[in-house]
């Protein structure tokens, strides 16, 4: 019946499918309870009829007597629906009512084997059951098959598909494995299910059908789309389903979507058919009748896009994605028209309507072929020669649309048409027939593209470089069309009903990008006459001798061939135009496609114009080299006149050509090009245009204002396009782009740059690559390297820090490479005009130096550790030599003090030896050298009560003394003229000890000066703070002391913190890595166009102009070897001091290349200018370099801390609001208690915040103090303890001076707060903050070594006391037994635990608080224990009680702790505390310590 006729029996309304028998619709009658939701049918199995039963002797149960074995005169069907329900259907003879009875509800597949009369079902749990149909269907007669009898699989074998021929059965598991049962000729014969590989490994079985004696398999492609389409690798999600595509905006999701689209299209196009069977005779489609014992591949249908297959009893049908049908097999019942041993295309009758010509599905009955056309009608192929007529039709049904999910990478659709026996089942759908035009035209487009594939494949085989990108894009477009057609067909069939699910709508951005890439590839070939050149190549030997297609030798054919994909997106545009009429919400997609179509037309037009330009007379040999495929001609001065504004009456003429990537100036003698990405244009005057580039600026003049407007518009739009911005965007005056300087540039000759530009000048973050391989990444200021950056220099090293005027200036870290990894050295500190200048630290394998530099030499105060000898020098340097006052500690612990000259000790001095001998007088490091006194103690002189060995001033020794003119070595001192006296008393240390050491206020002067300079250099703007800059940075000639007001200091602090945060803002990650990721580095495959060049000779010039003197220029035209003081020379006897740390010529051999030295990802390396990415041989990256630590401190005495380092322990601090604002407290003339509390809170946060300058200051101070007094290979001398304490006090005062500049209300020395006894000074304010864990630990080590003898007695007593109980301990100490009760009190335990906290405190105030609180708890314990007796605690009991608490607390090195605390609390700052309760408690504890260490504890009997 036609579409306009009746719509079937009204009783079938609401059904999910309709069933026909011999062309007549049947009425469905559900026996029992019908399903609430109608589900479409998945399988239709014909079980036989009465006539067939008579032949086979079988008996089939009736619908009403299933399981009874009674005979039936009707046909029997099995029907499986999508809800996993299996029904039995019977049609009584002569009736049109089909009765359906529910059998099971757990079935996912079913099939019937006619020969063995066995019914097989696959259950939802993956198992398979069978039943022999002999006496009717019996629910209890099912048998479960075993596919893993040996239980080799942990989870068993789960099946998803069963397919039966007349004698054989094939099962398909969820994993794709195939199992066989029964027989199929010589292919298999199995009485029990067994595994058999029927397809090649790596291929996925998509569908499987069978006839009486043959099977047909549809397989996915073995070759992956990544290989053919060159898809970029990325992390894929498991399963790879199309629904895993997400329309995210990230680059990764965009690329993943494109990849999935192309993979799906490739999979749809490149399916393969395989057949096997018990016989052939044409059944297998192999083109012959040879019987085969293996699976055969139908190569004729390879790459045809076969998407569905069906099989009758003796023939097969395959349908392709573009709607073509192929059939083959036997013609015993005239089902084919003739025997076909090879697939042949079915040609439908021409008189059919367009919808009838579109076959959506094809299926097979026993001996017939049925088609479902686009009109929803079923067509039966008649007997004849392959022409189809509409024998039996059914109309479409208005039905609730079924929403289906897309399939896997090869998406399958649910069949709408099933045939079995004389029955035909049609799943009901309401087709989107208004879109048939687009479906049929897209099928035609795909058919045409597939027919042209032979020509494209031939071109691919010939490997023509000019066509390679275009051929790849063409293949991608074909795959995209395949995926699109499948999606559109599903939309037409109502597999899904939302237009948003159409691929070219849902992923329109990915589609447009693919078509843009194709358009670009096509235009690239067309613009340089690539098709004409290709035809010429094909027409010439050797290709002309192997050309299978004559039309390939025609340029018009090639052009039409590659223009064909442009007709595809026209269909998308027309579809969107139709769609938005009813659903305007898709107008955005319509606009996107329309805009792409417009841009595609413009691109093609430009390509045509460019082709014409290169073939015209304007193309002279001088510009022929500019002809490139990706370049387009936009405008020429021959078309729109333009000339130089200042050309005057010059004899030379200049013409201008605007290309898509640069502006070309063609003169009589020179050719210059100006890249558009680094070109700025403005109007000037009435007819002029100002052109500005990184290297020059000039004016162009037109004749008319209309001409100027044309040039201005084209220049601006071309600049926007060159920058990759959307069309119509304004031309940015500030932009990030790449540019390569010409050889004529005075500063950056042939330098490749990429960074932020401001009107032709680099200003901001940038990346520079020099011809000799040097690389800079960092800040630039008005075209000069200035600010924070990183420089990698070949064969030399890496610098990270501040620059000024193109030279190292300010604080930085410089790693210098030597001849080997062990010869490298690292300098961390201040630079000035390219030289080591100011405070710095140098580390290499020979020494570590921390101190002052001047003009590249060690000059001023410094500390130098000789790593070979172990000697340490702390004193003055001049011109890299020890010169002036200083002290030297040898690796044996000997101490020398005096005046040094030429690296040796001369004149009067002091020497103190490890064995307590000492010398005063004229000396050298090797022995006495003139008049002096040599003391050789032999023992204690019997010191008065109260004098201890650690008391340097009062303690005396007895021994021998030599005086006079002395000489020799320190091992054998000889008397030239003098005396030696015996048994004389003399002090433990020389009276002049410390008088010839460097003044503590002189130490680290450069560190504080550089620190204040760094802060002062952070000015608000260059114009308003030139004075600040001149004050802060200074020069080599004169160091200017900065004098900033309080307001200026706070402004500088704010800028300093902002800069530090900016460098850390993109964490986690590397600062320089983030800079490079933000810059548009040119891709490896497309180098930038040749920049402004000239035919005139060029000369190399240095990067930074300036005086040629002892300065650190980044580049110098004189090629010579790099020297760095004493470290880069191979021969020590030929050691020369270099005038400049770095003098690099352009002929230097590059050992370090580009971005490798920045520690970046490999992806960044491929984005370099010239694609070279050879790894360098730097000894370490900056991250390792800046945190390099020589852990040679083998002292076993240290104060126990959680983290022992040289800085304030701080985690990632959160920026406090207080640090972000200029405080109002501490600014007035008077200091209040509120001011003090706020200042303390601010300083506490500032010293812990890594962005604050005070944090950096404390880090550097701690480093200096550590290398001065905490970095020892041997036990340090006790003499340094007092010196270290005095030095620390001096450092604290100088920090306080800077803090006073921040808070002017603070007193210069100290003061008392009004109404309180609290003292405000550098000690009380800063010691709790800056006396950090590292500083205190360093001091503690020195004091522990000084007091080690007494602490050793203390340690022994602690060990002895630990073994005693309370009663025994009181008895050993000889104390009153009443103290036993005190030790049992809880307050005593609390006092012991409190005293243990002493080893965790650094601040003197905190330590005094701990001691005071411990004593208070001891007092409470005594009062609680003696409450019954009414005894009062007095001094006689307090010291014994303190001794007990001290021994139970067991604080390590308590003597050193108390001595250090005593020195820290000296002076007026702690006078109030020491005169009060805290001082009393401290004195008590110290007295208790003295009592404990007077003798060794021994148990008395």
pLDDT in tens, 1028-1077: 444 444 566 555 555 788 899 999 999 999 888 887 765 445 677 777 77
Average pLDDT over residues 1433-1445: 84
Q: What is the DSSP letter of 726?
A: P
CA atoms within a 13 Å half-sphere pointing along the CA-CB vector of 716: 18
Cβ 1279 vs Cβ 912: under 8 Å: yes
Q: What is the pLDDT of residue 1401?
A: 83
In the predicted structure, residue 1466 carries a pLDDT above the cut 50: yes
d(Cα 589, Cα 549) in Å, to the nearest integer?
A: 40
pLDDT in tens, 1346-1402: 888 888 888 888 898 888 898 888 888 888 888 888 888 899 999 999 999 988 887
Q: What is the pLDDT of residue 1192?
A: 43
Q: What is the pLDDT of residue 136?
A: 79
pLDDT in tens, 853-904: 999 999 999 999 998 888 999 999 999 999 999 999 998 889 999 999 989 9
In the predicted structure, residue 413 carries a pLDDT above the cut 70: yes
Confidence of residue 210 (pLDDT cuts 50, 70, 90): very high
Lowest mean pLDDT, pick from 652-656, 886-890, 1262-1266: 652-656
Q: At 1038, which helix (H) or strand (E)?
A: none
Confidence of residue 1433 (pLDDT cuts 50, 70, 90): confident
Q: 180 versus 252: which is more confidently predicted?
A: 180
Lowest mean pLDDT, pick from 234-243, 348-357, 1267-1276, 1355-1364: 234-243
Q: 208 versus 1327: which is more confidently predicted?
A: 208
Q: 577 versus 1080: which is more confidently predicted?
A: 577
d(Cα 1168, Cα 1155) in Å, to the nearest integer?
A: 8
Read off the tokens for 780: 């630039």
Beta strands 27-30 and 97-104 are parallel
Tell me the range of 709-723, 1174-1188, 1317-1331, 1336-1350 where mean pLDDT is highest: 709-723
Q: What is the pLDDT of residue 821?
A: 66
In the predicted structure, residue 692 carries a pLDDT above the cut 90: yes
Cβ 255 vs Cβ 308: under 8 Å: no
* Beta-strand runs (E) in 93-243: 97-104, 107-113, 118-123, 128-132, 143-144, 159-164, 168-173, 178-184, 188-195, 205-210, 214-219
Confidence of residue 71 (pLDDT cuts 50, 70, 90): very low
Alpha helices in 1017-1159, H assignment, sequence order: 1026-1033, 1046-1064, 1071-1078
Cβ 943 vs Cβ 954: under 8 Å: yes
pLDDT > 70: percent of the chain = 80
d(Cα 211, Cα 758) in Å, to the nearest integer?
A: 76
Total count of residues recorded for the chain: 1501
d(Cα 507, Cα 593) in Å, to the nearest integer?
A: 12
User: Which SS3 state, helix, strand or coil, does residue 462 take?
Assistant: helix
Average pLDDT over residues 315-327: 94
Alpha-carbon distances of 1430 from 209, 297, 1135, 1426, rounded to whole Å: 108, 111, 84, 6
In the predicted structure, residue 250 carries a pLDDT above the cut 90: no
Q: What is the pLDDT of residue 781?
A: 93
Confidence of residue 822 (pLDDT cuts 50, 70, 90): confident
pLDDT in tens, 978-1002: 899 998 889 988 988 888 889 999 9
pLDDT > 90: percent of the chain = 46
Average pLDDT over residues 176-202: 92
Residue 584, classified by CB atoms within 10 Å of its CB into exposed (0-12), middle (13-18) or buried (19+), is: exposed
pTM over 0.75: no
Q: What is the pLDDT of residue 687?
A: 92
Q: Which residue is associated with the tokens 């008077």? A: 1230
1350: left (phi over 0), alpha (psi -120 to 50) or beta: alpha
Q: What angle do CA 36, 39, 45 make, to 5 degrees?
A: 125
Confidence of residue 1205 (pLDDT cuts 50, 70, 90): very low
Average pLDDT over residues 957-965: 92
Phi and psi at 846, nearest 5°, equal -110, -35
In the predicted structure, residue 59 carries a pLDDT above the cut 60: no
Confidence of residue 278 (pLDDT cuts 50, 70, 90): very high
**Strand order through the sheet with 688-692:** 643-644, 697-701, 688-692, 680-684
Average pLDDT over residues 1235-1249: 90
The crossing angle, in degrees rounded to 10, of helices 1435-1449 and 1348-1362 is: 80
In the predicted structure, residue 1109 carries a pLDDT above the cut 60: no
In the predicted structure, residue 677 carries a pLDDT above the cut 50: yes
Q: What is the pLDDT of residue 410?
A: 43
Read off the tokens for 961: 């003394």
User: Which SS3 state, helix, strand or coil, does residue 53 take?
Assistant: helix
Q: 601 versus 1427: which is more confidently predicted?
A: 601
Cβ 1188 vs Cβ 841: under 8 Å: no
Q: 1121 versus 960: which is more confidently predicted?
A: 960
**Strand order through the sheet with 107-113:** 107-113, 118-123, 128-132, 143-144
Read off the tokens for 486: 């499948």
Q: What are the beta bridge partners of residue 932?
A: 921, 964
Confidence of residue 1144 (pLDDT cuts 50, 70, 90): very low
Read off the tokens for 504: 């070219």
Residue 1208, classified by CB atoms within 10 Å of its CB into exposed (0-12), middle (13-18) or buried (19+), is: buried
Confidence of residue 444 (pLDDT cuts 50, 70, 90): very high
Lowest mean pLDDT, pick from 108-122, 522-536, 1465-1479: 1465-1479
Confidence of residue 627 (pLDDT cuts 50, 70, 90): very high
């Amino acid at each position: 019946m036609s579409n306009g006729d009746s719509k079937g029996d009204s009783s079938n309304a609401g059904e999910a499918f309709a069933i026909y028998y011999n062309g007549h619709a049947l009425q469905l009658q559900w026996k029992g309870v019908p399903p609430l939701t109608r589900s479409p049918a998945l399988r239709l199995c014909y079980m036989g009829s009465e006539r067939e039963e008579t032949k086979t002797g079988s008996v089939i149960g009736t619908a009403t007597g299933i399981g009874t074995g009674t005979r039936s005169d009707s046909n029997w069907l099995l029907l499986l629906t999508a809800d996993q329900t299996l029904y039995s259907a019977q049609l009584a003879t002569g009736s049109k009512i089909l009765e359906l009875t529910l059998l099971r509800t757990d079935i996912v597949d079913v099939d019937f084997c006619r020969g063995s009369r066995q019914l097989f079902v696959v259950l939802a749990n993956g198992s398979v059951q069978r039943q022999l149909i002999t006496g009717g269907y019996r629910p209890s007669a099912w048998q479960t098959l075993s596919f893993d009898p040996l239980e080799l699989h942990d989870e068993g074998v789960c099946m998803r598909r069963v397919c039966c021929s007349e004698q054989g059965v094939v099962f398909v598991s969820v994993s794709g494995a195939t199992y066989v049962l029964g027989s199929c000729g010589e292919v298999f014969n199995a009485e029990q299910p067994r595994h058999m590989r029927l397809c090649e490994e790596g291929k996925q079985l998509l569908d499987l059908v069978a006839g009486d004696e043959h099977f047909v398999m549809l397989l996915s492609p073995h070759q992956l789309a990544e290989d053919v389409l060159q898809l970029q690798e990325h992390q894929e999600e498991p399963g790879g389903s199309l629904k895993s595509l997400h329309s995210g905006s990230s680059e990764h999701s965009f690329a993943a979507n494109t990849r999935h689209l192309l993979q799906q299209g490739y999979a749809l196009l490149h399916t393969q058919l395989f057949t096997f069977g018990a016989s052939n005779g044409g059944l297998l489609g192999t083109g012959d009748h040879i019987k085969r014992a293996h699976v055969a591949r139908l190569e004729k249908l390879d790459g045809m896009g076969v998407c569905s297959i069906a099989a009758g009893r003796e023939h097969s049908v395959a349908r392709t994605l573009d709607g073509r049908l192929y059939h083959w097999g036997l013609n015993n019942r005239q089902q084919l028209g003739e025997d076909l041993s090879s697939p042949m295309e079915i040609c439908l009758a021409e008189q059919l309507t367009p919808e009838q010509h579109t076959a959506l599905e094809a299926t097979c009955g026993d001996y017939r072929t049925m088609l479902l056309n686009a009109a929803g009608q079923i067509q039966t192929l008649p007997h004849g020669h392959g022409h189809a007529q509409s024998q039996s039709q059914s109309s479409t049904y208005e039905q609730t649309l079924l929403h289906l999910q897309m399939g896997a990478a090869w998406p399958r659709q649910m069949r709408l048409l099933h045939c079995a026996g004389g029955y035909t089942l049609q799943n009901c759908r309401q087709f989107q027939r208004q879109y048939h035009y687009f479906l049929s035209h897209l099928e035609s487009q795909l058919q045409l593209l597939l027919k042209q594939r032979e020509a494209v494949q031939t071109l691919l085989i010939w490997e023509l470089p000019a066509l390679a990108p275009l051929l790849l894009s063409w293949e991608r477009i074909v795959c995209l069309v395949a995926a699109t057609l499948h999606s559109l067909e599903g939309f037409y069939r109502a597999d899904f009903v939302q237009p948003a699910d159409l691929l070219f709508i849902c992923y329109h951005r990915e589609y447009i990008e693919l078509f843009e890439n194709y358009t670009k590839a096509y235009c690239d070939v067309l613009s340089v006459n690539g098709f004409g050149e290709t035809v010429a190549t094909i027409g010439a030997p050797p290709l002309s001798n192997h050309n299978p297609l004559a039309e390939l030798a025609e340029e018009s054919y090639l052009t039409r061939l590659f223009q064909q994909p442009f007709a595809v997106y026209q269909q998308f545009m027309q579809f969107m135009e139709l769609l938005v009429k009813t659903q305007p919400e898709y107008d955005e997609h319509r606009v996107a496609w329309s805009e792409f179509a417009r841009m595609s037309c413009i691109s093609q037009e430009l390509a045509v114009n460019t082709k014409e330009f290169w073939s015209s007379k304007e193309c002279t040999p001088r510009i022929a080299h500019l002809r490139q495929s990706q370049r387009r001609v936009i405008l020429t001065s021959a078309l729109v006149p333009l000339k130089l504004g200042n050309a005057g009456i010059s004899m030379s003429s200049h013409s201008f050509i605007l290309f898509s990537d640069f502006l070309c100036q063609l003169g009589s003698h020179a050719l210059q090009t100006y890249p558009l990405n680094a070109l700025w244009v403005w109007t000037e005057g009435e007819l002029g245009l100002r052109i500005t580039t990184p290297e020059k600026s000039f004016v162009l003049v037109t004749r008319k204002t209309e001409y100027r407007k044309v040039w201005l518009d084209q220049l601006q739009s071309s600049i926007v396009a060159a920058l990759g911005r959307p069309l119509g965007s304004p031309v940015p005056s500030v932009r990030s782009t790449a540019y390569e300087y010409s050889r004529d540039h005075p500063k950056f000759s042939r330098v490749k740059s990429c960074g932020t530009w401001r009107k032709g000048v680099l200003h901001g973050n940038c990346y520079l690559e020099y011809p000799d391989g040097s690389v800079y990444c960092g800040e630039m200021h008005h075209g000069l390297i200035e600010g924070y950056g990183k420089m990698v220099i070949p064969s030399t090293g890496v610098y990270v820090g501040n620059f000024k005027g193109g030279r190292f200036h300010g604080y930085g870290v410089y790693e210098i490479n030597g001849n080997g990894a062990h010869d490298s050295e690292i300098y961390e500190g201040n630079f000035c005009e390219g030289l080591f200048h100011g405070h710095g630290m140098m580390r290499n394998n020979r020494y570590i130096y921390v101190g002052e530099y001047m003009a590249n030499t060690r000059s001023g105060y410094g500390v130098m550790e000789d790593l070979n000898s172990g000697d340490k020098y702390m004193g003055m340097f001049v011109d890299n030599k020890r010169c002036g006052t200083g002290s030297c500690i040898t690796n044996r612990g000997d101490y020398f003090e005096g005046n040094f000259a030429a690296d040796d000790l001369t004149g009067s001095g002091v020497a103190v030896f490890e064995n307590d001998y000492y010398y005063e007088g004229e000396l050298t490091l090797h022995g006495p050298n003139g008049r002096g006194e040599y003391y050789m103690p032999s023992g204690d002189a019997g010191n008065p009560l109260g004098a201890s060995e650690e008391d340097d001033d009062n303690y005396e020794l007895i021994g021998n003394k030599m005086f006079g003119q002395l000489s020799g070595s320190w091992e054998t001192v000889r008397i030239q003229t003098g005396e030696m006296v015996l048994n004389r008393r003399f002090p433990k240390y020389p009276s002049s000890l410390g008088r010839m050491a460097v003044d503590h206020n002189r130490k680290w002067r450069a560190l504080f000066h550089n620190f204040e300079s760094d802060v002062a250099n952070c000015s608000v703007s260059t114009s308003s703070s030139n004075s600040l800059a001149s004050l802060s940075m200074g020069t080599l000639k004169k160091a200017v002391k900065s004098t900033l007001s309080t307001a200026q200091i706070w402004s500088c602090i704010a800028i300093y913190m902002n800069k530090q945060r900016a460098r850390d803002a993109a964490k986690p990650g590397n600062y320089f890595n983030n800079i490079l990721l933000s810059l548009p580095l040119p891709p490896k495959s497309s180098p930038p166009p040749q920049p402004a060049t000239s035919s005139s000779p060029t000369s190399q010039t240095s990067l930074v102009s300036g005086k040629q003197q002892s300065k650190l220029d980044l580049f110098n035209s004189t090629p010579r070897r790099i020297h760095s003081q004493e470290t880069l020379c191979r021969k020590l006897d030929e050691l020369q001091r270099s005038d400049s740390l770095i003098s690099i010529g352009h002929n230097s051999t590059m050992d370090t290349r580009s971005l490798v030295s920045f520690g970046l990802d490999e992806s960044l390396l491929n984005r370099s200018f010239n694609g070279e990415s050879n790894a360098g041989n730097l000894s370490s990256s900056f991250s390792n370099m800046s945190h390099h630590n020589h852990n040679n401190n083998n002292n076993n005495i240290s104060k126990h801390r959680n983290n022992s380092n040289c800085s304030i322990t701080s985690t990632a601090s959160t920026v406090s609001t207080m640090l972000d604002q200029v405080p109002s407290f501490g600014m007035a003339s008077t200091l209040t208690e509120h001011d003090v509390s706020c200042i303390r809170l601010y300083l506490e946060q500032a010293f812990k915040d890594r962005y604050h300058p005070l944090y950096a200051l404390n880090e550097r101070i701690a480093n200096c103090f550590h290398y001065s007094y905490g970095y020892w290979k041997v036990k340090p001398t006790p003499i340094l303890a007092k010196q270290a304490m005095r030095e620390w006090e001096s450092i604290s005062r100088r920090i306080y001076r800077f803090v006073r500049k921040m808070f002017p209300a603070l007193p210069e020395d100290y003061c008392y707060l009004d109404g309180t006894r609290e003292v405000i000074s550098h000690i009380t304010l800063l010691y709790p903050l800056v006396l950090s864990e590292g500083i205190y630990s360093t001091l503690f080590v020195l004091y522990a070594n000084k007091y080690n003898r007494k602490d050793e007695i203390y340690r022994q007593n602690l060990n002895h006391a630990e073994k005693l109980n309370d009663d025994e301990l009181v008895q050993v100490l000889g104390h009153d037994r009443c103290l036993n009760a005190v030790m049992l009190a809880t307050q005593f335990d609390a006092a012991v635990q409190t005293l243990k906290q002493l080893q965790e405190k650094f601040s003197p105030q905190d330590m005094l608080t701990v001691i005071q609180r411990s004593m208070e708890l001891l007092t409470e314990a005594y009062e609680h224990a003696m409450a019954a007796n009414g005894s009062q605690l007095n001094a006689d009991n307090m010291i014994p009680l303190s001794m007990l608490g001290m021994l139970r607390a067991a604080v390590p090195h308590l003597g050193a702790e108390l001595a250090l605390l005593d020195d820290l609390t000296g002076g007026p700052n702690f006078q109030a505390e020491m005169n009060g309760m805290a001082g009393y408690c401290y004195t008590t504890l110290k007295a208790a310590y003295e009592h404990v260490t007077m003798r060794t504890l021994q148990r008395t009997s």
